[in-house]
Amino acid sequence: MSVKFVDHSWLELKEFINRNALILMPVGAIEEHGPHLPVSTDMVIASRLAEAVANRIKDQVPVLITPDMWQAYNGNILHQWPGSLTISQDTQKRLLYEIAESIIKMGFKKILFINSHGQNLFTLEAVCRQIADDYGVYLPFVFEYKIAADFMGEHRKSKIGGISHACEFETSMMLHLTDLVNMSKAEKSLMTYSSKFKNNDGMQGTSRVFWSTWALEKAEMGVLGDPTTATEETGAKAFEYLVGEISEFALEYYHYGKPK
């Protein structure tokens, strides 16, 4: 049976509601990712993760995947490179909220956002909090950068400053998932600004403040990090790690609060 929400009739969806199915919602963006990656990078990663997680857990719990939510906010600084389709954060918040709201009104109570775009984080948190206030339904989201941080800490080839945007991590993932990467165009652009308050790597250390990396670094080609160190092998291992970890959390979330 298909794990795609849109493949089912309303009668079939009603049965999924009766079984208290888990809804996975991939959330990404259409955004420039340097001269070597397609602008679909964030959405490809979120979509493929959601699909793999659904197929991993479908024999344990009923699960469906919504269509991709690619409509996202991208900072104006990104518009110097063609490719970023952007909406305001207010518009994105309403969009995500109302889609989640419609799913809840159908009768579904378990929705997990699978996010792969850093600028979605504050919007997703706001949506999850508003849904909780309005419906008493507490929704979580995962961000693949946070989930993969420990793994990449052990397996990365780039120096500190090499992972953030269109970097070793995303390029490795896309080498594994697609044939759309042009490594001959990959250029290193290590992040250099670091202080006791702000770190200079997306997967190493923790910043104590929010301060946009785009304000601090020179990204001449729309890259923050070192994609030249990316490999398909790293991407394959990272993807499998992410699928395992997100699947484990999805099951934890699904079963939380159910009678034992």
Question: Is the whole-model pTM more than 0.75?
Answer: yes
Whole-number pLDDT of residue 205: 81
- Give the pLDDT mean for 201-215: 90
Q: What is the pLDDT of residues 97-112, one digit of tens each?
A: 999 999 999 999 999 9
Cβ contact 241:155 at 8 Å:
no
Element (H, E) at 162: none
- CATH number for region 5-255: 3.40.50.10310
- Give the pLDDT mean for 160-167: 96
How is the chain split into domains, by residue range? Answer: 5-255
Burial class (CB in 10 A: 0-12, 13-18, 19+), 10: exposed
Whole-number pLDDT of residue 258: 66
E strand map for the chain: 22-27, 63-65, 110-115, 141-143
